[in-house]
Amino acid sequence: MFLTISTTGSAQRPATDLGHLLHKHPEKAQAFSTSYGTAHVLYPEADAERCTAALLLEVDAVALVRRSKGKGRGGAPDAALAQYVNDRPYAASSLLAVALGSVFSTAMRGVCAARPELPGVPLPLRVEVPALPARGGADLVRRLFEPLGWTVTAEPVPLDVEFPDWGDSRYIRLTLESAALLAEALRHLYVLLPVLDDAKHYWVAPDEVDKLLRVGDGWLAGHPERELITRRYLSHRWSLTRRAQERLELVRLAEADDSEVEDLDNAVEPEAEDEEKPTPLGVQRREAILAVLRASGAARVLDLGCGQGQLVQALLKDPAFTEIVGVDVSMRALTIASRRLKLDRMGERQASRVTLLQGSLAYTDKRLKGYDAAVLCEVIEHLDLPRLPALEYAVFGSARPRTVCVTTPNVEYNVRWESLPAGKVRHGDHRFEWTREEFRGWARTVAERRGYAVEFLPVGPDDPEVGPPTQMAVFRLGGPESVTPESVTSKSDTPKPVTPKEAKAA
Ligand code: SAH
């Protein structure tokens, strides 16, 4: 089984730089012994214009059988012969990927001690794999490599050239072309060759999850076929696949950072007739939440999707809240929060009251169990609608605090924001914005399903036609008693003006 990697040179850079990058001298043929046979690295061509490195794995079938102790491909009782008569010698399977990973491990990490600048330079690369076992066919091969920037040629290999009517075999002749970093190309191959083969020759242990995340760094989290890749790479082991999916989702969310403070939150009415300074909506929201939490008697509070930590900061000012935990998926938001709170300079007693955790609300998290109250302030609309049941389970099913306070924009109010073009949501990352009826429908269903009572409160001026700018639901575990604090209802009776951001600029 073998594959080749070629590059072309230019006036500034000879093609033989490939040898430096791979840490294998172009003038030598080298052999490395691996657990499954001998891996050879040789260069069929190597001059300034063109350089091709070939990796050839000479499989030791006997060693393979001994190692696998019958666990090998096709573990069926009649597979004894299949251990010796099979496609191992020529098909580019997971064995080749393992050889690639061990022979080119330094290159895969993008390290070149002799020429440190080299790994960072994209090269015109051409990878050829003459016999690639591809479960899913040429179509899947394209779906896997094209999103990574490769130009893919995937031709099915006929079962027998002498007998064309026998049709195609399950093998593909694959050519990939791209201007890419060599380390990235190697990592793509290392993961995707076994994924296409879909029959790992070795037992997949839990540390494969770490390996996959390491090798998949920078390209796997956002790959459209992420789920299939993870599942097959981890040999369909469900618990490992789930763990990898969770971690990749965290990576994806952290990459698509949406922790910006919403502009409209800070908008105030500049022409307000009142002498008193009008209160921005963001502040009104925090005051409403604090009132709900105080009325509930909560001492230990979760701020889920805490963003840059404004609410955590407000909670810290009230000694009634003895333990405050801010959770967010965005590392960047948490870093800003930590700076805002001056966590590193805080006295010991104060610091012992606050914890910031990275985590996704779309997954159950044991660390969030046993709190008095949880706040989701302008968070649910940042999740894709199909992820909401997962959040519901994580918060109301698993963490299960006594009180849960959820706020979200009321989309009906958007017509009152002069600066907001019709039909637009308030923030680029909002996946949806609900009417009052939609929010109430969702909240009532959740409450019923999870054994909570729910009440609704307006935040900001409660417009007779379109309602308030922010809508709030307060859930109380099992309790029929009212959860409405006086201070909140009375506040909404005397609305403060809340106004568009453009008014601020005026
Ligand atoms: N509660 C804050 C921030 C609101 S912005 C405030 O009112 O100012 C929404 C926040 O939710 C962002 O910080 C975003 O990173 C976070 N978020 C989005 N999806 C999340 C998820 N699945 N798990 C945890 N946090 C998430």
Query: Structural domains in the chain?
Result: 2-203 (3.30.1610.20), 207-254 (no CATH), 258-505 (3.40.50.150)
Given the structure tokens 């796997």, which residue do they identify? Answer: 220
CA-nearest of 287, 337, 293 to 314 is 287
- Nearest residue (by CA) to ligand 1, atom 16, is 305
* CA of 331 relative to ligand 1 center, distance in Å: 11
Mutate which of 293, 311, 363, 382 for ligand 1 pocket (most atoms within 8 A of beta carbon):
382
Q: How far apart are CA 354 and CA 342, in angstroms?
A: 11
CA 42 to chain centre: 38
The pTM score is 0.53
Query: How many other CB atoms are found less than 10 A from the CB of residue 499?
Result: 25
Yes or no: say if 177 and 151 are a contact pair by the CB < 8 Å rule.
yes
Cα(488) to centroid(ligand 1), Å: 24
What's the CA-to-centroid distance between 360 and ligand 1, angstroms? 9
Q: How far apart are CA 94 and CA 110, in angstroms?
A: 22
337 CA to centre of ligand 1 in angstroms: 12
Contact 254, 330 (CB under 8 A): yes
Residue 373's CB: how many other CB atoms inside 10 A? Answer: 24
For 387, the token pair is: 């992820």
Render each residue's pLDDT in the chain as its tens digit; 506 residues: 789 999 999 888 899 999 999 999 999 899 998 777 889 999 999 999 999 999 998 877 666 666 555 444 444 444 455 555 555 555 557 788 888 988 999 999 998 888 888 898 889 999 999 888 888 889 999 999 998 889 999 998 887 777 777 777 778 899 999 988 999 999 999 999 989 988 766 667 778 888 899 999 889 988 889 999 999 998 888 888 888 888 887 777 766 554 444 555 555 444 444 445 567 888 999 999 999 999 999 999 999 999 989 999 999 999 999 999 999 988 878 888 888 898 888 888 889 999 999 888 988 899 999 999 999 999 999 998 988 999 999 999 999 999 999 999 999 998 887 777 777 777 777 889 999 999 999 999 999 999 999 999 999 999 999 999 999 999 999 865 545 554 444 333 333 333 444 333 33
Q: Kindly state if the Cβ of 17 falls inside 6 Å of ligand 1.
A: no
| Cα–Cα distance, 440 to 417 (Å, whole number) | 22
CA–centroid distance, residue 340 to ligand 1 (Å):
16
Question: Which atom of ligand 1 is closest in space to residue 303's alpha carbon?
Answer: 1
Q: CA quadruple 314, 320, 323, 325: dihedral positive or negative?
A: negative
